[in-house]
Amino acid sequence: MKRRDVLKNLSLLPFVGTGLATVASNEAASAAQTSNKRNLFEELGVTPVINAGLTMTFLSGSLMMPEVLEAINSTAHDFANMFELQDKVGAKIAEMLGCEAAMVTSGASCAIVLGTAATITGTDPIKIKQLPAYTGSQPEVIMQKSHRYLFDQAVTTTGAKIVEVEGPTEMENAINGNTAMALFFNAAGKSSVTHEEFVAIAKKHKIPSFIDAAADVPPVENLFRFQKMGFDLITFSGGKMIRGPQSAGLLFGRKDLIEAAKLNHSPHEAPIGRPMKVNKEEIFGMYAALKSYLERDHKKEWQEWLDRVDKIKSIVEKVPSVKGELFVHPGPANAFPSLYVSWDHEKIKMTAPEVVTALQKGSPSIVALIATKGTEKVLNIGVVLLRPDQVKLVGRRVKEILENQQG
C-alpha cells in the first residue's frame, strides 16, 4: 500500500470500535490528516517566508483573504463564459465603487496597458489588431516629468510614446491630434499639475485622463476618490492591501473606455492583452476580495496593526539599548503603521542591514526592511502582512538576534 492509502485507511478508524477507541482514533485521524496534507513547499524545497515588510511582488505580494480562497475553490468546478463573467463582475464592481464600468485585469500594470490601448484603439478592430505596431502616427501619452516611474513601461508596451510636461501650461500645449491620454501617477512625490488641474485640462481638450493608484489603499476612501474628481480611468492592484489574487487588479471608470479595454483583452484571441489573461477563479476572487475589503472594519484593523507594533516593540525592547518606535507611512502608497527598531551601536555590534540578512537567513525566514531615520539606517518591521500567529515570533527572532550580538 502506498503511504497515502495507509493514511486514508487510518482516517476510517473512527467509524469502528468503542467510545474510547473513537477518541483515540479521532486523534489518529486528525494526526493522519495533518501528515496527509501535501506540503508543496517541502516537496519542492521552496522556503516559506514570513513577510515583515510590505506588499512586494518578488515576495508574492500579499496573502489572499479567506473569502478569496473560498471564492476560488467554490467556482473551480464549473465552466463559465468568460465574456459573461467579466461583464457581470465588472458591473457589480462598478456598482460597488460608484462608477460607470469596471473590469478585472491581471494587475495594475495590465490595467495601464489595457487603458492605454483602449484610448488608442477605441472599438476599432483594425487598430486593435495592429497594436503595438500601429500604422498611424505614433500615439502620445502625456505625463508630468516628476511622474515618470518604472511602471510607465506599461504605457510604451502599447507602442505609444510618453511626452513629458511640467506645469499646466506645458500640459495644455502638449496636447495635439496624436494625444491618446494623460497619465497621473498618484504616489509621485511631487506634482507640477495638481489632480484637479490635470482633470480639468484633459476634459477641456477631450483627452482621457488615467490615474495609477495601484498601492494607495488604505485608506479605503481612495477607492472612491478619483472617479469623483473626474478621472476617466483608474487602477488599483488587486494583490496588494485589498488582498485579492496577486495576479489580479482593477480597471474602472468610463464605460466606453472599459468596453474598448475589454476588446484589447482575453478571452479575445490575439490582442495586446491576451497574454495578460485572468482566469475565472481569480475574477471571482477579485470580486470577493473587494467586497470583503469594503465591508471590513477599517478602524478595528488599524487598531490591530497598532497593537502588533506595540507587541513587537515590547519584546525587542527587553534587549538593553534597543528602542522601538511606531512609524506611520504618510502615503499615498503603503500608508500604514510599522515599527522602527534602533539600538546603541556601541553596545550591539550589528548594523540594521546585517539584522535584515540574519532574519532572512534564519529559520523561519523573515523578510524585514531598512528605513532611513534622519541619517541613521534603522530596522523596519512591517506588521500588516503578518499572520496573527507570526507577530510574537517575529518579535522574538529580532530579540534573539540582537541579544546574541551584545558586546
Ligand X SMILES: *Cc1c(COP(=O)(O)O)cnc(C)c1O
Binding residues for ligand X, per CB under 6 A? 57, 107-109, 151, 187, 212, 214-215, 237, 239, 249, 333
Q: Are 173 and 209 in contact (CB under 8 A)?
A: no
| Cell numbers at 168, concatenated | 499646466
- Beta carbon nearer to ligand X, 75 or 109: 109
Q: How far is the CB of 189 from ligand X (least distance, A)?
A: 12
- Beta carbon nearer to ligand X, 154 or 201: 154
Whole-angstrom CA distances from 184 to 44, 141, 179, 187 are: 42, 10, 15, 9
- Beta carbon nearer to ligand X, 167 or 331: 331
How many CB atoms within 10 Å of residue 153?
A: 12
- Beta carbon nearer to ligand X, 118 or 333: 333
- Beta carbon nearer to ligand X, 215 or 260: 215
- 209-212/233-237 β-pairing: parallel
- 101-105/49-52 β-pairing: unpaired
Q: How far is the CB of 391 from ligand X (least distance, A)?
A: 25
- Beta carbon nearer to ligand X, 104 or 260: 104
d(CA 102, CA 251): 6
Q: Looking at beta carbons, which residue is closest to ligand X?
A: 107
- Beta carbon nearer to ligand X, 214 or 283: 214
Q: How far is the CB of 231 from ligand X (least distance, A)?
A: 15
Q: How far is the CB of 46 from ligand X (least distance, A)?
A: 21
d(CA 269, CA 152): 25
d(CA 259, CA 23): 59
Q: Which residue has the cell 496593526?
A: 305
Q: How far is the CB of 116 from ligand X (least distance, A)?
A: 13
How many CB atoms within 10 Å of residue 45?
A: 6
Q: How far is the CB of 383 from ligand X (least distance, A)?
A: 20
Q: How far is the CB of 124 from ligand X (least distance, A)?
A: 26
Backbone dihedral region for residue 239 (phi beyond 0: left; psi -120 to 50: alpha; all else: beta): alpha
- Beta carbon nearer to ligand X, 109 or 266: 109
3 state SS for 81-128: CHHHHHHHHHHHHHHHHCCCEEEEECCHHHHHHHHHHHHHHCCCHHHH
Q: How far is the CB of 272 from ligand X (least distance, A)?
A: 15
- 337-342/161-165 β-pairing: unpaired
Residue type for 16, please? V
d(CA 398, CA 366): 10
